[in-house]
Structure 1
């Protein structure tokens, strides 16, 4: 009789499919976010809110961008529950389909000129559906990889799905850059739709890959041991509320700073007469820098620990905030590209590499998906969605000067550093159902006892 395959054997056999499947999912997530944000910054105000002044139309367009973020915690609850109760793989297939279909439909929507107020209503509805899917996509991808990967290389492998972030933003910037070269009448009539419609092709490829990925061995053990909770999110909130709060604060630069850099900065540059193609090229370069930084930062966290690496990235995000706007204000193409390379690639995107394995290790298997997802998406609803609107308001309050917005970026980044300083180190902790959470040299606030839920499901 053949022995059951070990986790190491499953990892070796499925590693390539798993990495491809999770990277493609993150690519679609961030492609969808980026093309929506870019369209909100550049064309949606005119297409869906033409009766407003340009400034109010821009704010209204950014408001529809923000609506999706209010749906993300709901998506985190729904798909986090599915992931913790019925399987990580099932949740990931659901998020992929929901995101892709909603994005494709946006490319088919009529504009205000055709159907009046129905157009922005439909846009908001599609954005809500996008938000539901996005609310657990990245977290599910990282959780899957973290639960498969060998402990000594978990930081590196868990960071790889985040490369889909750079690929998605980069692909969106590239497609939008090509579309932006169209004559204005063609861009506003049909060109803006192309980036959204292309989403369906990427979803089809991602679905084919993802359906071939096996279930997480950690979830399989959890199910076999009958240790799944009835309501994972509720158990997590009762068991470790302090840790959840600290994770939310630690994630705040990825809920605020990154959207100021990748979304608001495009309209900021447009207001200074910088061409759309220059802005999108700078964004693309920032993404390329992030592509290199994410796995390197993840690998560094395997060697030096999760906390010191995360702290260093948070502090860098604070330090680069003022120089980012100084470089943009020069109007010089090379310096604008440098600004995005440092602030987006070396700062915000690099943070994905430091947080991937760390956040997965901070929560027990029984509610890891839910805890990780809510820890990311609650601050997303509070900060990410309103970020471009907040940015517009802060810059307007100072007569067009960006210094107050830069102060806000510094405060958010330093708050993240403080939260990480309080959280425990987790490098080397086990992720299997029987592994203690917060075990090791530095258990901290919110540390839980053994990774066994207080209410298990009898099967």
Structure 2
């Protein structure tokens, strides 16, 4: 009883710092990703890959976007290890600093016209550093909140950092839309740098807030009980390979579909003559809808269960791609805006159902590592190459997007089947699954 009262007291005292500290971290992470993705779609082909055909320079720019995703599993292993071994808070501060430094550095890079081939090489290096930081940022934020929050409202509170995802994408779209109004000469000479350099301000604010966030009480208990895993990622992979595989498959739809929508679709609209500013405003609207939908889905997962909520949004992910591209093909401003609202507000609100669910699927001794690898391996396999895959499928379809829409639906179906195979976890006491990994694998209601 005293332990329960103590935990509730810790939550009450920490919530006002914890929620903003984790939300702003996710905001920065996805601001960085979105700014890069938007620049890769709209300006990097000309700045870093001139002299190629339009298609070849765009493929090259999208390829640098994908490079960061190959670093994300390494970031998941590195910062997941630090988070499980030395503390969630320690890892979160490290990822925030790394992401911020890499993003600001991109804004300071010379272009191909200034230094030749060194420019894209430096761009790739910065993108790799971004990927390392991103590999555990969102997972760390969600894990922290899930381990603090009351079990009955864990779905809602754990979904709030995910709202930062869409706020970050939205902020990037707003900044990029403002910059896109500059005359083309100014945009291509210095205007494109502004969104990257602004990351310095946001990271500084985030760091001040995050340094005031206390350590997770679950990790504190784990540390005091001396039950931390020696090599968390390795022990997790040995103890529950099936669980890890199912989580990766369940996350596939989010890894692929979101990057088709937020990155590839901007270039797709540009090819159809839709002004950059309109495409970015539509993206901004979609992010606003998504930011509202996420906590609603989180509440749904608290009331109906993690698994039903996840299955529902996965089904929507299978349905939405076809009407999304149908609306984009009209090139009508209102319908393009509606398309992004439908995409982000329905199937991609999966963040809200995923947050508490994935945190509850892994024991505390390697929760950070398991959650991070479950998200970032499919991110490397599908998320990074998504714009290039999308471009290839549209080219294969002679400009028609429906092969791409079918691929998005297929990925959603695979994720649906994986979600069906995963167990329900709502109501799990995270403190009760923090023993040694050997004992943790014998909790069938949680780990079966």
What TM-score do you get using the length of structure 1 for normalisation? 0.94
Query: Where do residues 404-419 of structure 1 align in structure 2 (5 Å cutoff)?
Result: 404-419=403-418
Task: Give the 3 Å change call, closer, same or farther, for CA 260–4 of structure 1 in structure 2.
Answer: closer
Deviates more, 1:427-436 or 1:182-191: 427-436
Task: Give the 3 Å change call, closer, same or farther, for CA 437–261 of structure 1 in structure 2.
Answer: farther
Query: Where do residues 309-324 of structure 1 align in structure 2 (5 Å cutoff)?
Result: 309-324=309-324
Q: CA deviation at 1:32?
A: 0.2
Query: Where do residues 389-428 of structure 1 align in structure 2 (5 Å cutoff)?
Result: 389-428=388-427
More helix by share: 2
- Per the alignment, residue 161 of structure 1 pairs with 161
Query: Where do residues 273-284 of structure 1 align in structure 2 (5 Å cutoff)?
Result: 273-284=273-284
- CA–CA distance in structure 2, aligned partners of residues 110 and 257 of structure 1: 32
Query: Where do residues 116-155 of structure 1 align in structure 2 (5 Å cutoff)?
Result: 116-155=116-155
Describe the SS at the equivalent of 2:418: helix
- Per the alignment, residue 226 of structure 1 pairs with 226
- Per the alignment, residue 301 of structure 2 pairs with 301
- CA–CA distance in structure 1, aligned partners of residues 346 and 185 of structure 2: 37
**Contact in 2 for aligned 1:361/1:437 (Cα 8 Å):** no
Q: CA deviation at 1:161?
A: 0.3
> In the alignment, is residue 25 of structure 1 matched against residue 25 of structure 2?
yes
**Contact in 2 for aligned 1:166/1:291 (Cα 8 Å):** yes
- Per the alignment, residue 114 of structure 1 pairs with 114
1:167-203 C-alpha deviation (Å, 9 max, x unpaired): 1000000000000000000000000000000000000
- Per the alignment, residue 383 of structure 2 pairs with 384
- CA–CA distance in structure 2, aligned partners of residues 221 and 189 of structure 1: 53
Structure 2 gap segments, 5+ residues each: none
**Contact in 2 for aligned 1:424/1:438 (Cα 8 Å):** no
> In the alignment, is residue 364 of structure 1 matched against residue 366 of structure 2?
no
Describe the SS at the equivalent of 2:430: coil
Q: CA deviation at 1:443?
A: 3.7
Task: Give the 3 Å change call, closer, same or farther, for CA 433–228 of structure 1 in structure 2.
Answer: farther
- CA–CA distance in structure 2, aligned partners of residues 437 and 412 of structure 1: 31
Describe the SS at the equivalent of 2:346: helix
Task: Give structure 1 regions of 4+ aligned residues with deviation exceeding 2 angstroms.
Answer: 2-5, 433-440
- Per the alignment, residue 72 of structure 2 pairs with 72
Query: Where do residues 204-215 of structure 1 align in structure 2 (5 Å cutoff)?
Result: 204-215=204-215
Structure 1 gap segments, 5+ residues each: 448-459
- CA–CA distance in structure 2, aligned partners of residues 330 and 195 of structure 1: 30
Q: CA deviation at 1:52?
A: 1.1
How many residue pairs match? The answer is 443
Query: Where do residues 28-39 of structure 1 align in structure 2 (5 Å cutoff)?
Result: 28-39=28-39
1:121-148 C-alpha deviation (Å, 9 max, x unpaired): 0000000000000000000000000000
1:258-290 C-alpha deviation (Å, 9 max, x unpaired): 000000000000000001111001101100110
Query: Where do residues 247-266 of structure 1 align in structure 2 (5 Å cutoff)?
Result: 247-266=247-266
Q: CA deviation at 1:345?
A: 2.4
**Contact in 2 for aligned 1:236/1:371 (Cα 8 Å):** yes
Q: CA deviation at 1:254?
A: 1.4
- Per the alignment, residue 353 of structure 1 pairs with 352
- CA–CA distance in structure 1, aligned partners of residues 418 and 313 of structure 2: 13
Describe the SS at the equivalent of 1:6: helix
**Contact in 2 for aligned 1:363/1:437 (Cα 8 Å):** no
Task: Give the 3 Å change call, closer, same or farther, for CA 120–301 of structure 1 in structure 2.
Answer: same
**Contact in 2 for aligned 1:365/1:433 (Cα 8 Å):** no
Describe the SS at the equivalent of 1:314: helix
Q: CA deviation at 1:343?
A: 1.1
**Contact in 2 for aligned 1:218/1:433 (Cα 8 Å):** no
